[in-house]
Amino acid sequence: MGGVNTGAGPSRYARALAELAQEIGPERADELSAQAGSLACALGNGADLAALMTSPRVSREEKNELLRNIFGEGLSEEIYGLVDLLLRKGRAGMIGPVLERFRALAREQKRVTAAEVVSAVPLTDSQIGKIREILEKSLAKTVEITAETDPSLIGGLRVTADGFAADWTVKGRLDGLKKRLLRNCPEITCTFF
């Protein structure tokens, strides 16, 4: 959405919403986090919605009305209030980053972390469960896994979670071998590969 700002601004607003969520209780905090995810996803995936929300030609009132028409009661007054505050302050471009930062803070408070697992072929639920179990034991947190498929990996897995990254893919190993060969044998040219 409009220039993504990842500085102190989004964190400040996100922390304020996280504190409010803590005060109103864990169930409501989970609801707010889910609502923040829905709105952030809509803004991230909807170029038209993002453009309207950041357009100086659309009034603050029209932007608020647009969101209420789209989401209705699917968003709480806390989320609508945050959006309106950001609109009043001329920070519409920060809505997505604030919501994403809030979701990260909510996960931290619950000792939950997100993990991304990319494999060459789709993983079964059992395989994802085993990966989750290993990560939860290693990180001492509950792990929410997003599994993706990338056939270019040829085989194996690439895992990122909580600052941890590991590449156990065939493609990753071949790339590593290529780098070592090029470093140790300068006479081999890149066209060879």
Domain-terminating residue out of 52, 87, 108 = 108
Whether residue 96 lies inside any domain: the answer is yes
- pLDDT range class, residue 28, cuts 50, 70, 90: confident
pTM score? 0.69
Whether residue 3 lies inside any domain: the answer is no
- The pLDDT of residue 14 is 95
Mean of pLDDT values over 13-32 = 91
Domain-terminating residue out of 108, 135, 152 = 108
| Domain coverage including residue 128 | 114-192
Whether residue 119 lies inside any domain: the answer is yes
Q: Rg of the chain over CA atoms, in angstroms?
A: 21
The chain-wide mean pLDDT, for the chain, equals 90
Among 72, 41, 66, 40, residue whose Cα is nearest residue 53:
66
Q: Is residue 92 located within the same domain as residue 138? A: no
- pLDDT range class, residue 26, cuts 50, 70, 90: confident
Residue 1, pLDDT > 80, answer: no
Q: Is residue 18 located within the same domain as residue 90? A: yes
Residue 3, pLDDT > 60, answer: no
Indicate which CATH number applies to the domain containing 23. 1.10.520.20
Q: Is residue 90 located within the same domain as residue 50? A: yes
Whether residue 152 lies inside any domain: the answer is yes
- Per DSSP, the residues of the chain read --S---SHHHHHHHHHHHHHHHHH-HHHHHHHHHHHHHHHHHHHH-HHHHHHHH-TTS-HHHHHHHHHHHHGGGS-HHHHHHHHHHHHTT-GGGHHHHHHHHHHHHHHHTTEEEEEEEESSPPPHHHHHHHHHHHHHHHTSEEEEEEEE-GGG-SEEEEEETTEEEEEEHHHHHHHHHHHHHHH-TTS-GGG-
Query: Which residues does residue 163 pair with via DSSP β-bridges, in sequence order?
Result: none
Domain-terminating residue out of 87, 108, 129 = 108
Q: Is residue 89 located within the same domain as residue 34? A: yes
Q: Is residue 91 located within the same domain as residue 122? A: no
How many domains is the chain partitioned into structurally? 2
List, for residues 87-106, the tens digit of each pLDDT value. Answer: 999 999 999 999 999 999 99
Q: Is residue 78 located within the same domain as residue 128? A: no
